[in-house]
Structure 1
């Protein structure tokens, strides 16, 4: 049985991690799912994409000052490289990752 990694463990590596903070009831959040899937297909293992439900993880959302959903954050080695609220296109996300993350090759 595989243990679930803590959030800190997930964002502590060299691989950039794009986190989508969302809520089930949020319309724009639903729009992000196919965009994130497109990003995964474009970038493969160059970036890890995870989704976190703010209602199931209120302490984490509060500690990161998530006030609106969707909020996207890019982490690498526990560092916040970028954050933005609202729907962002796959092309924009790819640019953000390439511009902010260290040593990302697609």
Structure 2
């Protein structure tokens, strides 16, 4: 399964009520580093599909949730388990590093 797009409206259902952990990638169209990590996140979402859902949220189109959880810089990846943020990673990183971090948090 590839990454899913979440919105302020779908966040509760797609992320907080998910039966498995969800990594939310907060990004924006104008963010170069966000675009750099997008292909890596797509690959990771397929490689770890049975363990985690990877979701993307455009902070320009959705301001409510990023505001609530205090997103100030992007790309910001926040891992949610059982409806709670349990880990976060700020900034772009190579695929191996992203995957290693995510696996260590799952």
Q: TM-score by structure 2 length?
A: 0.81
Aligned residues: 98
Aligned-partner SS, 1:33 = helix
User: Which ranges of structure 2 fall in alignment gaps of 5 or more residues?
Assistant: 1-6
Structure 1 range deviating more: 55-64 or 35-44: 35-44
Measured after TM superposition, the shift of residue 93 of structure 1 is 3.0
Q: Tell me the C-alpha RMSD between the 2 structures.
A: 1.8
Aligned position for 2:12: 8
Is 2:63 the partner of 1:58?
Answer: yes
Tell me, in whole angstroms, the C-alpha distance in 1 between the residues paired with 2:81 and 2:30: 29
Q: 1:25 aligns with which of 2, 25, 30?
A: 30
Aligned-partner SS, 2:50 = helix
Aligned position for 1:99: 104
- Highest CA radius of gyration, 1 or 2? 1
User: Which ranges of structure 1 fall in alignment gaps of 5 or more residues?
Assistant: 102-106
Aligned-partner SS, 1:44 = coil
1:83-94 matches, cutoff 5 A? 83-94=88-99
Measured after TM superposition, the shift of residue 53 of structure 1 is 0.4
